[in-house]
Structures are given as structure tokens and as C-alpha cells.
Homo-oligomer: A and B are copies of this chain.
Amino acid sequence: MARGAYVGRFQPFHKGHLMALEWILEREREVVLVIGSAQYSHTWENPFTLGERLEMIWRVLKARGILDRVIPIGVPDTDRQHNLWVQVVLTMAPKFERVYSNDPMTRRLFRERGFEVLSIPFFDRERYCATLIREKIARGEEWEDLVPAEVVEVLKSIGGIDRIRELYGRREARRT
């Protein structure tokens, strides 16, 4: 076996994620795509449910013809019980040998557990950033070219634009 895990929240899954995934697929036979913070939804940081994110990602994988090399799974976060989180991933995920992540916490926790952890090159990070994309959606700016077409499709069909706009409004109101 030669499998890597790619960890993210994918709120939503954008072209930067896709490029990273393709970059990993050049290095690994298969990839476990770990959709983190799986239990949350309807917050600014995590607007979409796990089911909605799986729908987006599964359609993208299908359209790219890589469903036979990528295994998407949802994993809840453990709030601040960080020392349990890696074990939760290992319990819920098919086996993998390496972890790809740029998040310092994910990197540290897997390294403390003895995993090899690799960095992912950033692909036009200014543009492909989930927070910025949500902000663009909220403000009515251009965003559709930043995510795969399948994501646009799902996001619209579930009323995602309205939801993000509302959550953005709440966040702004709280900041004032």
C-alpha cells in the first residue's frame, strides 16, 4: 500500500484543494481525503454539513474520474481534546502511511504519533482560500471560477449563498 491522507475542512472545496489533491496523487497511489470538523454546520467557519461537503467533493471526484484513487471520509473534531483526535482519525479512516497538511496543529499531532508529515505547495494562495471565497460569496463578488463547477452546482442547489450571506452578516454584526 502507498496511501497518503489529506486533511482539510473544505468549506467549500475549491480549486486550490483540487490542485493540492492532484499534486498528492502524483506521489501516492491513493489518498484518504479527511473532511474535518465533520459535526459542525451553519457557522461562519463551517457553513456546510458533512453531507453537503461530501456531495460537493464526490461529484468533483467523479467528474475528474478519480473516485478509484480518493476515499473521502468525515471526521469530527474533538474540541480541545487534541490528544484524542489522531486516534479518532485512525479509527474512522482506511489505513494510510503519510499525512499531507500545512496546518501546524495537524502536523504536530500526527508527528507526535510517529507519522511522516509532508507539506503541500500552495497554489495561488491569495485566490484559493476558503475564507476569502466565503467572503466573496457574502459580498456578492465573483467567486464561481474559484471552485470546481460541481461545487457551484451543489452550493446553489442547497441555498448555500443565502446561508453564507446570513452567517457573514452575523459575524459582522458581532464585530461592531
Q: How large is the interface on A (under 10, 10 to 19, 20 to 34, 35 or more residues)?
A: 35 or more
Q: Which residues of B contact A91 (CB under 8 A)?
A: 39, 41, 49-51, 81, 83-84
A139 at the interface (CB under 8 A from B): no
Is the pair A84, B83 in contact by a Cβ cutoff of 8 Å? no
Integer count of this chain's copies in the complex: 6
- Known A68-B67, A74-B73; judge A82-B41 contact (CB<8 A): yes
Of B67, B92, B105, B108, which contacts A49 at CB under 8 A?
B92
**Further pairs besides A39-B80, A49-B83, A84-B88: 17, Cβ < 8 Å:** A39-B81, A40-B82, A41-B82, A42-B80, A42-B82, A42-B105, A43-B82, A51-B91, A52-B94, A54-B71, A62-B68, A67-B67, A81-B91, A83-B87, A86-B87, A87-B87, A104-B170
Q: List 19 A-B contacts (CB under 8 A).
A: A39-B80, A42-B82, A43-B80, A43-B82, A49-B91, A49-B92, A50-B92, A51-B90, A51-B93, A54-B71, A54-B94, A55-B94, A58-B71, A67-B67, A83-B87, A84-B84, A87-B87, A104-B170, A105-B170
The chain A residues found within 8 Å of chain B, CB to CB, are 38-43, 46, 49-52, 54-55, 58, 62, 67-68, 71, 73-74, 80-84, 86-88, 90-95, 104-105, 108-109, 112, 159, 163, 166, 169-170
